[in-house]
Chains A and B, each alone.
Chain A
């Protein structure tokens, strides 16, 4: 079950990073940063 969870998580993280890369507004890019940090920590099973 954890593997499935991590695959979904990695997919969502990829989408957020893609959104950050294509987004033109700085405010929205900063919002993406705030989402990326906990996703990375979760993906690495740190938090």
Chain B
């Protein structure tokens, strides 16, 4: 054997070793996080229970149902529409692990786009996991995923994504964005099928109020905000007053009539639910951020955002304290409670949520205190 053939063999062995190592790492990301349902969860279903084509795909997410002893209204909470926006996902997880419902029913989907949890956005240097210690000192790990469905599950992207229901044209990669696919369609791609299943759930279960939990970069105008369909405006406005009294400043944004595919637009147009979408401040997805790591995702501390604030470039207050995950999750959980209260007042339905931390309690403690 010649010398260059020996080096070629060594190179092939090295390539195989690296491929096996990295392949195992990528495959491990497909394993769902451990979510430990609390005593409030009465049933667990799958999205495929509402659209059977999803069965066996990575779009078949779990639906946790918290049913109260007394009949009442129905609420849906979507976390993980965008898995690179951790406060939405973690708020839904806390609802599953700690929440209780005495009247009515609450449906929680922590991993709305399950496929998007199985990879990260390329060239973003995102952390793979966020870690928390619960009150027993045990470590809990939760994925930091991508904004969009994994291309392994849905490929290829078109050059231009045309929203089926409206004909709206967007960048091709938006075809994998769950929050551009509503109301979805049964013969569409995986993302559209997930949207369709969620829309079917809302219709079949007669969901009255729907929350879609998000985060946004600090330089994005719609931040610390609730986006409401026109029919949800009264509920959102009165909920906002309550939030203001608690000390939470919330902007109220009307859902643009000509921006299609989003929950706050299409779920309002195509179903009877009142949709609300909420955004908190997440530096780890911003364009002005420094090092992107777990600490940034958890604390929001970033000197570049502090500088940007001084230059008036941000839409959210920003100082050396950042925006910790407890504040962001606290905003979502408190907002859900306040908007549900407002929903009860406006519709005459009754949904009573219990055992969820208030905003002040979240700020005073650690997020891990509210995990099982």
Specify the main secondary structure of chain A where it touches its partner: helix
Asked if B304 is at the interface of the complex by the 8 Å CB criterion, the answer is no
Contacts of B119 in A (CB 8 A): 47
User: What per-residue 1/0 map shows which CB atoms of A1-23 lie under 8 Å from chain B?
Assistant: 11000000000000001001111
A contact residues, range: 20 to 34
Q: Is the CB of A20 within 8 A of B8?
A: yes
On chain B, the residues within 8 Å of A41 by CB distance are 19, 22-23, 26
Question: Min CB distance, B120 to chain A, in Å?
Answer: 11
List the A side residues contacting B23 at CB < 8 Å.
Answer: 40-41, 44, 46-47
Contacts of B27 in A (CB 8 A): 46
Indicate if the CB atoms of B26 and A21 lie closer than 8 Å.
no
Count of B interface residues, CB-CB < 8 Å: 19
Q: Is the CB of A29 within 8 A of B11?
A: yes
Taking the closest CB of chain A, its distance from the CB of B169, in whole angstroms, is 22
Q: How far is the CB of B222 from chain A (nearest CB, A)?
A: 33
B15 is an interface residue with CB less than 8 A from chain A = yes
Residues in A with CB closer than 8 Å to B136 are: none
With A37-B19, A37-B22 known to touch, is A47 a contact of B152 (CB < 8 Å)? yes
Known A-B contacts A41-B26, A46-B27; the reply to A33 vs B152 at CB < 8 A is no
- Decide: A21 and B5 in contact? CB cutoff 8 A: yes
CA distance A17 to B11 in the complex (A): 10
Contact check: which of A2, A33, A44 meets B155 at CB < 8 Å? A2
Nearest CB in chain B to that of A44: its residue: B23
Evaluate contact between B11 and A32: CB separation under 8 angstroms.
yes
Q: Do B7 and A29 touch across chains, with their CB atoms under 8 A apart?
A: yes
Inter-chain contact B7/A26, CB cutoff 8 Å:
yes
Min CB–CB distance B21 → chain A (angstroms) = 10
Q: Is the CB of A37 within 8 A of B18?
A: yes
How many angstroms between the C-alpha atoms of A44 and B22 in the bound complex? 12
**Quick check: A45 and B11 within 8 Å, CB to CB?**
no
7 closest A-B pairs by beta carbon, nearest first, are A24-B4, A33-B15, A40-B19, A36-B15, A46-B23, A33-B11, A47-B26
- A residues engaging B (CB < 8 A)? 1-2, 17, 20-24, 26, 29-30, 32-33, 36-37, 40-41, 44-47
